[in-house]
Structure 1
Amino acid sequence: MDHKIAARTSLIRSASDAGSKVFATILTRSPISRIDIARHTGLSQAAVTKAVSPLVAAGLVDAPPAAHRDGNRGRPVAPVSIIPEALIMLGVKVNVDEVIAVATDLGTAVLASEQRALAVHDPQVVLEAIVDVVSALESRLGDRSAAIAGLGVSVSGDVDTETGVVRESAIMGWIDEDFGGRLQERLGRPVTLENDVHALTIGEHWFGVGLGTASFAIVTIGRGIGSGLHLNGQVVTGAYGVSGEIGHLPLADPERICACGRRGCVEAVASTGAIEAAVSAAHGRDVIIDEAVRLAHQGDPAAEAAFREAAAVIGTAIATLVNLAGPELVIIGGEGVTNFDLFEQTLRNSFNAHAFGAAARCPIVTRPHTFQDWARGAAAAAIQSLVR
């Protein structure tokens, strides 16, 4: 990181609360006038101008001369814009069998991407794979790599973002793993470790659907069942960092054992692995998810039953989430979206049966997310960490 980039990151990190609000507003709503910044932040226009000036001087924000005036007040309207290339963030999504990495600008536009297969889940192997993709991204960026300001890494499970510790990840088989600290020490760069669905939610909150929605929830269907909540302008993390873990609500048959070791979790019947296990047991041989999907589409009773059971439990979990938190929209993402026709009707029926009163009016929509989108979410989490 050269001295100019270091100065920019130092300015952002040391900003006052007002300065952070102003920068975040410009970052997510660019271009925007100073008047609108004041409206969004609740600050005076004088305070906004004071906060914008050092951002312009540092090369983070562009503020051209006023071109016209506000017709009501006669004040100059000079929209300010983020300079996306002022800083670069790296984002890494850790999957059970691969790591996907992207380099993004401050608006999370992807500048370069890399991925590496994972044969095992050993933390040291995963760490080395991340070091490898980071090095590859630096090479692809060339001289622009000097603008890299940090790295965001997202992992499934109970992640303590403050300490960088993965407290529990059933998919990876990790317990109390100080992954963020070790990775930061190895790379010599700031590292933000975040739960994967929370990171995806941060990306949607700052750069996606969250900009036009007062509150929303993301529910992901795939190898795990996760969720993230955006309420009152903030992504909810909770006091212990595990808010929104609907995959481990005890809504399934207690006889079903989850990969986390507990009984009756939603994931015990609704995850990709649970569906594969149910169809495999019925057919007396190993059946992977692609074949299970094909069998269900062909009317195979065991495959249809597995997806129907999964959909019913997920629908109940979403109803529980909506009853408790009251988001105005639920977005379903994850690998399972590509096969949502096998879930949809049963899921909606289950949701409607358990949603209380007006909560049943909450729309449920699908939004496909590629694994590159998940990596962009990790980069967004790193940007948010820098700003805050």
Structure 2
Amino acid sequence: MRPTPRAETFPANTPAASQVFTTVLSQGPLPRLEVARRVGLSPAAVTKAVRPLIEAGYLVEGVDEEARPALGRPANLVRVDGGRALFIGVKVTGDEIIAVLTDLCCRIRVARHLPLSEREPKAVLAGITDLVQQLLGEADGSSAPVLGLGIAVSGDVDRGEGTVRYSPFLEWRDVPLAELAAMTTGLPVTVDNDVRALTVAEQWFGAGVGLSDFAVVTVGAGIGCGLVVHGRVVAGAHGVAGEIGHVTVDPAGPLCHCGNRGCVEAIAGEAAIVRQIREATGAELPDAEAALALAREGVAAARDVYARAGEAIGRGIATVANLLGPERVIISGEGLAAYDLFAEQIRDAFVAAAFGSAARCDVRTHPLPFDEWARGAAATAIQSFIGPDTSR
């Protein structure tokens, strides 16, 4: 076992300092005056906030040579030193564990994958620990410390307690994963729902940068949704906000594993699509890849199943738009491999079901491999390290 990683406290000890750092992290490099404008603070307050961050090496200030103006005095820009600290992110799926080592700007340095043959918590924890030890070894050559571990799991996750309340794909109930992982790795651990973790990464480092209100909808084994409202990732009072996969869009539709009928996930989740194509064609389909191949071959019944899936997803997105009025909805997930088969239906169903100006919501796709989901877990670790005021 490697020595216990070094503990370190982030020097921003006020909400204002955390807000300034987060703004520079996600939107920088920026001049101090622009930072003050974006966070709504006085220039003096920004100067006070950045001073300890510069002294500790988390922020650096200097002239951006690439943006140097032809005339006039060049502006000093504040930026995050990404190499100042490292973080590890882990995404647990039903059959694989993916782990990444990132810098403070959440740029992936190393990725590792480990097949998962058993889903019992003990086996998964052993796999996570093994991957973390490998990545700590990769970090040994760097002067930057590893300061946190984020773990992303599908299902009902209580981030505050670090407990997986219920994960249908892992068949877990009430697993204190943060506590267990902290004991085996020696790192501060953040555990969150995988879609919320991906949403944090999109908010700070991806297609949601600078947006106050947006949603991330993931399609694949399940149908998930992460919500950002007034700049905050929303978990809800019971930790299940954004579960559009269990919004009923067809009361007479197929039975969902949650016990209701006609949920978006019961129509558009990968398992549901495979089941429906089997029933419609009689074909022996081992997995979603085979179902997709059949549809691409032009089999009408298979293509109809994907079309219905697109309609269900479009109605689910419209529900989000009608309730929250987001500026943007980002569609992602492994299910985007079939996007050409249901893109038109998603758009048509969304426009038909969205109320009034909600239909003007910018709906776009952003395909992301599983390494990016692990990066989302690292983003939650970075978020926790910066301070609790940035986490919700």
Do the two structures share a fold, i.e. TM-score over 0.5?
Answer: yes
Deviations 1:321-366 (A, max 9, x none): 1100101211111111121011111222211221111111223211
How many angstroms apart in 2 are the aligned matches of 1:134 and 1:226?
Answer: 27
Q: Which residue of 163, 176, 179 maps to 2:177?
A: 179
Structure 2 vs 1, CA of residues 209 and 255 (structure 1 numbering), >3 Å: closer, same or farther?
closer
Shift of 1:266: 1.4
CA distance in 2 between partners of 1:66 and 1:120 (Å) = 50
Query: CA shift at 1:6, angstroms?
Result: 3.6
**Structure-2 separation of matches of 1:82 and 1:145:** 16
Question: Which residue number in structure 2 is paired with residue 54 of structure 1?
Answer: 52
User: Residue 309 of structure 1 aligns to a residue in which SS?
Assistant: helix
Please give the secondary structure, in 1, of the residue aligned with 2:321: helix
Query: Which residue number corresponds to residue 89 of structure 1?
Result: 87
Answering whether residue 164 of structure 2 is matched by residue 169 of structure 1, we say no
Paired with 1:130 and 1:147, the residues of 2 have a C-alpha distance of 19
Match status 1:22 vs 2:17: no
Contact 1:2/1:146 (CA < 8 Å) preserved in 2?
no
2:356 aligned with 1:357: yes
State whether structure 2 residue 233 is matched by structure 1 residue 232: no
Report if aligned partners of 1:252, 1:268 keep a CA contact under 8 Å in 2: no
The structural deviation recorded for 1:54 is: 1.1
Tell me how far apart the structure 2 counterparts of residues 136 and 4 of structure 1 sit (CA, whole Å): 13
Distance 2:251 2:328 in 1: 28
Give the distance between the partners of 2:6 and 2:18, measured in 1 at CA.
17
- Matched position secondary structure for 1:244: coil
Give the corresponding residue for 1:367: 366
Secondary structure of the 2:181 match is: helix
Give SS of 1:209's match. Answer: coil
Kept in 1, the 8 Å contact 2:82–2:105? The answer is yes
Please name the residue that 2:291 is paired with. 292
Aligned positions of 1:138-153 closer than 5 A: 138-144=136-142, 147-153=145-151
Q: Deviations over 1:20-79 (max 9, x none)?
A: 112212222221121112112222222211121111111111124899xxxxxx999532
The alpha-carbon distance between structure 1 residues 190 and 57, as it changes in their structure 2 partners (threshold 3 A), is: same
Q: 1:170 to 1:262 in 2, by over 3 A?
A: farther
**Which residue number in structure 2 is paired with residue 334 of structure 1?**
333
Alpha-carbon distance between aligned partners in 2 of 1:121 and 1:6, rounded to the nearest angstrom: 31
Task: Determine if contact 1:102/1:376 at 8 Å carries over to the other structure.
Answer: yes
- 1:227-376 superposed matches below 5 A: 227-254=225-252, 256-282=254-280, 283=282, 285-376=284-375
Return the offset for 1:82. 1.0
User: RMSD of aligned C-alpha atoms?
Assistant: 2.5
The match for 1:43 is 41
Distance 1:50 1:113, change over 3 A: same
For 2:51 and 2:73, the matched residues in 1 are separated by: 18
Distance between the aligned counterparts of 2:46 and 2:16, measured in 1?
Answer: 8
| TM-score of the aligned structures, taking structure 1 as reference length | 0.91
| Distance in 1 between residues matched to 2:252 and 2:180, nearest whole Å | 38
In the alignment, residue 359 of structure 1 is paired with which amino acid?
A: A
* Letter of the structure 2 residue corresponding to residue 119 of structure 1: S
Q: Is the 8 A contact 1:266 1:314 kept in 2?
A: yes
Deviations 1:282-322 (CA, angstroms, capped at 9, x unpaired): 31534421121121122223312221221111111111111
Cα distance in structure 1, aligned partners of 2:354 and 2:188: 42
**Secondary structure of residue in 2 paired with 1:280:** helix
1:127 match: 125
1:76 and 1:151 mapped to 2: Cα distance? 39
Deviations 1:80-128 (A, max 9, x none): 2211111101011111110111000111111111010011211111111
Alignment equivalent of 2:108, drawn from 107, 110, 116: 110
SS of 2:218's equivalent? strand
Could you list the runs of 5+ residues in structure 1 that have no partner in the other structure?
Answer: 68-73
Please report how far the alpha carbon of residue 262 of structure 1 lies from its aligned counterpart in structure 2 after TM superposition: 3.9
Of 10, 25, 33 in structure 1, the residue corresponding to residue 31 of structure 2 is: 33
Report if aligned partners of 1:112, 1:137 keep a CA contact under 8 Å in 2: yes
TM-score by length of structure 2 reads 0.90
